[in-house]
């Protein structure tokens, strides 16, 4: 089977591609490579690599493709607010374009990488039928993409949306702006964890390898079980309050629990049920939060991860790229040649 992974050099994509290769899939990676090609450099000879943007890539690359895992997006809530219009253009309109072109070119399966952030703030435990309450541009873009793409499903075009819990764990394109990863980095670098007020807010969590495995599970599932469906991806056991999460991470890596509060109270708080994907597809995560924290801390200790690499904090790196873009435009306007 030939699979196109958009955002294939990203945090989840670079992990998913390797897992697809391990299962014998023929893989195409479409990415802008904002964070460099380093995350897939060691497998570059095993995949087809296309540098492009989901908003304007040449649709002929979809010829002969059997399935699309659509992960390309400006990731996380803070990044989404840097330029809300751009976030909607990419995360909503761009992915809608991918889905429509995929159907037009005879692709059989399409999987949308959505997010549990669409639940926003909930008092109970949200399932796939619960009212949504997106509080950020990033969350709204995911929901809009779901609403426009899922109706494209039919007998010949199997469409599934995966609402992923907040992802954590070691990846080839690391991210230190995700809560478990950020807390582990802070403990390593500063000897304390920074906790967002007021610490009682809930987050569902899932390891990057587990959420990648969920894409493969859907890809290989009976079409009748997944067509036109939404699945939350995670596990009930990994719904955790932020303050308790900080304590878990310190305990997991065997360090004293020192913490410091920061920021205004976070209005986002949601617990999520993952019963549907477990009951329907038999999917259950294999990794725990403690395992994820330990693998990251070990990689930091051994020098395999640089805690100060600016690329690993997404919003800071995008700000850097925006500043560079402004600088280049000024050079062009002023006719300066370097």
Q: Please compute the mean of the pLDDT values over residues 83-94 and round it to a whole number.
A: 92
User: Which CATH number fits the domain that encloses residue 194?
Assistant: 3.40.50.720
Asked whether residue 279 is assigned to any structural domain, the reply reads yes
Asked whether residue 336 is assigned to any structural domain, the reply reads no
How many independent structural domains does the chain possess? 1
Percent of all residues in the chain with a pLDDT value above 70, rounded to a whole number: 91
Q: What's the pTM?
A: 0.93
The whole-number pLDDT of residue 83 equals 80
Domain ranges, residue 51: 2-316
Q: What is the 3-state secondary structure (H, E, C) of the chain?
A: CEEEEECCCCCCHHHHHHHHHHCCCEEEEEECCCCCCHHHHHHHHHCEEEECCCCCCCHHHHCCCCEEEECCCCCCHHHHCCCHHHHHHHHHHHHHHHHHHHHHCCCCEEEEEEEHHHHCEEEEEECCCCCCCCCCHHHHHHHHHHHHHHHHCECCEEEEEEEECEEECCCCCCCCCCHHHHHHHHHHHHCCEEEECCCCCEEEEEEHHHHHHHHHHHHCCCHHHHCCEEEEECCHHHEEEHHHHHHHHHHHHCCCCCEEEECCCCCCEEEECCHHHHHHHCCCCCCCHHHHHHHHHHHHHCCCCCCCCHHHCHHHHHHHHHHHHHHHHHHHHHCCCC
Model confidence band, residue 267 (pLDDT cutoffs 50, 70, 90): confident
- 249-260 pLDDT per residue, tens: 999 999 999 999
Asked whether residue 271 is assigned to any structural domain, the reply reads yes
Range scoring the smallest mean pLDDT among 12-16, 89-93, 325-329: 325-329
The whole-number pLDDT of residue 318 equals 62
Asked whether residue 160 is assigned to any structural domain, the reply reads yes
Whether 326 has a pLDDT exceeding 60, the answer reads no
Asked whether residue 337 is assigned to any structural domain, the reply reads no
- 206-236 pLDDT per residue, tens: 999 999 999 999 999 999 999 999 999 999 9
The whole-number pLDDT of residue 321 equals 63
The whole-number pLDDT of residue 117 equals 95
Asked whether residue 330 is assigned to any structural domain, the reply reads no
Asked whether residue 119 is assigned to any structural domain, the reply reads yes
Asked whether residue 329 is assigned to any structural domain, the reply reads no
The whole-number pLDDT of residue 310 equals 86
- 30-80 pLDDT per residue, tens: 999 988 899 999 999 999 999 999 999 999 999 999 999 999 998 766 665
The whole-number pLDDT of residue 40 equals 97
- 275-318 pLDDT per residue, tens: 999 999 999 999 999 999 999 999 999 999 999 998 887 766 66
Model confidence band, residue 327 (pLDDT cutoffs 50, 70, 90): very low
Residue with more model confidence, 239 or 322: 239
The whole-number pLDDT of residue 324 equals 52
Q: What is the mean pLDDT of the chain?
A: 92
């Amino acid at each position: 089977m030939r699979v196109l992974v958009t955002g294939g050099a990203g945090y989840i994509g670079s992990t998913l591609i390797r897992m697809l290769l391990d299962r014998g899939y023929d893989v195409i990676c479409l990415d802008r490579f904002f964070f460099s090609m380093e995350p897939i450099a060691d497998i570059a000879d095993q995949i087809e690599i296309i540098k492009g943007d989901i908003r304007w890539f040449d649709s002929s690359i979809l010829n002969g493709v059997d399935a699309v895992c659509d992960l390309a997006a400006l990731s996380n809530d803070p990044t989404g607010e840097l330029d809300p219009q751009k976030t909607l253009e990419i995360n909503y309109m761009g992915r809608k374009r991918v889905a429509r072109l995929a159907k037009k070119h005879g692709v059989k399966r399409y999987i949308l990488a959505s997010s549990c952030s669409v639940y926003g703030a909930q008092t109970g435990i949200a399932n796939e039928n619960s009212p949504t309450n997106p509080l950020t541009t990033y969350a709204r873009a995911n929901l809009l993409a779901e609403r426009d793409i899922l109706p494209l499903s039919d007998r010949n075009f199997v469409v599934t949306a995966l609402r992923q819990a907040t992802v954590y764990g070691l990846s080839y394109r690391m991210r230190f702006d995700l809560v478990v990863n950020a807390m582990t980095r802070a403990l390593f670098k500063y000897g304390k964890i920074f906790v967002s007020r007021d610490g009682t807010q809930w987050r569902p969590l899932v390891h990057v390898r587990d959420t990648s495995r969920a894409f493969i599970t859907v890809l290989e599932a009976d079409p009748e079980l997944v067509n036109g469906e939404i699945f939350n991806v995670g596990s009930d056991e990994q719904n955790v309050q932020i303050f308790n999460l900080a304590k878990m991470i310190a305990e997991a890596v065997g360090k004293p629990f020192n913490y410091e509060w920061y920021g205004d109270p976070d209005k986002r708080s949601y617990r999520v049920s993952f019963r549907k994907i477990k009951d329907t597809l038999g999917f259950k995560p294999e990794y725990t939060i403690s395992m994820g924290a330990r693998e990251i801390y070990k990689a930091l200790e051994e020098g395999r991860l640089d805690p100060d690499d600016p690329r690993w904090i997404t919003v800071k790196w995008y700000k850097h790229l925006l500043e560079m873009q402004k600088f280049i435009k000024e050079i062009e306007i002023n006719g300066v040649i370097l």
